[in-house]
Amino acid sequence: MFGRRGAGRAAARGRPGGELSLDGQPGGELSLDGQPGGQASPDARPRGEVLALDAVGRTHRRGAIVALHPVDLSVPRGHFLAVMGPSGSGKSTLLQCAAGLDRPTSGTVRVEGVALDGLTEARLTRLRRERVGFVFQAHNLVPSLSAAENVALPLLLGGATGEVRGPALRALAAVGLADRADDLPAELSGGQQQRVAVARALVTDPAVVFADEPTGALDPVTAHDVLALLRRAVDVDGHTVVMVTHDPVAAAWCDEAVFLARGRLVAALHRPDPDRVHEVMRRIGGGAAA
Ligand SMILES: Nc1ncnc2c1ncn2[C@@H]1O[C@H](COP(=O)(O)OP(=O)(O)OP(=O)(O)O)[C@@H](O)[C@H]1O
C-alpha cells in the first residue's frame, strides 16, 4: 500500500437530532466539524476544502420519500473518503448530489467554493466536465473508441483546442497502460478497462473524483490494482477522491470512512481498517461484503 500523507480529515458535521459518533465508538458525542463539542459554522471549515455539503437533503415524491436527510460534509483537498452504509441508506443519492448529477431538494453543494445550486444547467455541465471526474462500477467506456480516445474524450468535450493525445497517453502511462493506448475496450480485461476509466477521470486534473463502487465488478487482485491507483492519485498527485463502496477492504485504502444509515450520516472512522468497518456496519444494521 502507498504511504499515507497527513491530509486533513473530512468533517462530518452533525446536526441537532443526529446520532453522529466519531470513530465508530458507541455513545460518541455529537460532533460538529469533526471536533467534539465544536460549533458548526461555514467559517470553521478546514482550509483547502474542495467539496462541501451544507445541509444537503434529497426527497422524492414531494417529500414522501426521504432518500437523504440534511447532511453536512467537508472534504479537504488530497483526501480519500469512503462513503459506506447498508443498501438503501442514501450513498448513491449523496454521491449524485455531491457530483452535480442530481439536484438536492435542500441545502448547498460547493465544489472549490462554487455553489452548484446557483448554476444553470449549462454551467453545471461545464463544471462537471472540467472540475469533476467519475469512475463507475461499469466503466462506461465508448466501445468504438480506443483507450487513448476514451481518455481524451473529457478534454474534447471540455472544448480542448490543442493536442489531446499527449495528455491522454500520459494519463494512460500513469495507470500502467501506455502500451495499450490503441486497443479498443473489448481488447482489454475488465481491470484494464477500469484503469482506463481511472485515467479518463483524472485526465482533466479535476478538483474531486467521485467513484461509485469502482471495484464492485472486479476480482480482489484487480480491485487491489485499481484502489492502489486511486490511492496514488491522492498521495502523489494530490487528487481528492470520494468513493462509495460496500467493501471494507476497499474502505481500508481510504483516509476516512463515513457511514450512512436511513439517509443520515451516523458514524465516521479515521483510517478505517476492515475489522472496524465491519463492526460499524454491524452496529448500524447493515452487513458488509466479506
Ligand atoms: N428516484 C427515486 N424515487 C423514489 N425513491 C428513491 C429514488 N432514488 C432513490 N430512492 C430511495 O432513496 C433511498 C436511498 O437510495 P440510494 O440509491 O441513495 O441508496 P444506496 O445506499 O445507494 O443503496 P444501494 O447500496 O442499494 O445502491 C432508497 O430508499 C431508495 O429507494
- Domain CATH for 96: 3.40.50.300
Mean pLDDT for the chain overall? 85
Which three cell numbers, joined as nine digits, stand for 109?
453543494
Q: Which of 61, 139, 51, 146 is nearest to 99 (CA)?
A: 51
Q: Is 175 a domain residue?
A: yes
**What range defines the domain where residue 211 resides?**
11-284
Closest residue CA from atom 31 of ligand 1:
88
Q: Is 162 a domain residue?
A: yes
Is 261 in contact with 273 (CB distance < 8 Å)?
no
Cβ–ligand 1 contact at 88 (below 6 Å)? yes
> Is the torsion defined by CA of 157, 160, 163, 165 positive or negative?
negative
Q: Is 148 a domain residue?
A: yes
Q: Is 1 a domain residue?
A: no
**Confidence check: pLDDT of 5 > 70:** no
Q: Is 2 a domain residue?
A: no
Q: Is 47 a domain residue?
A: yes
Q: Is 289 a domain residue?
A: no
Cβ–ligand 1 contact at 65 (below 6 Å)? yes
* More confident: 192 or 6: 192
pLDDT band at 11 (very low <50, low <70, confident <90, very high): low
Ligand 1 centre to CA of 89 (Å) is: 7
Q: Is 60 a domain residue?
A: yes
Our count of domains for the chain comes to 1
Q: What is the pLDDT of residue 176?
A: 93
Beta bridge partners of 264: 261
> Is the torsion defined by CA of 88, 90, 91, 95 positive or negative?
positive
Q: pTM here? A: 0.85
Ligand 1 centre to CA of 161 (Å) is: 40
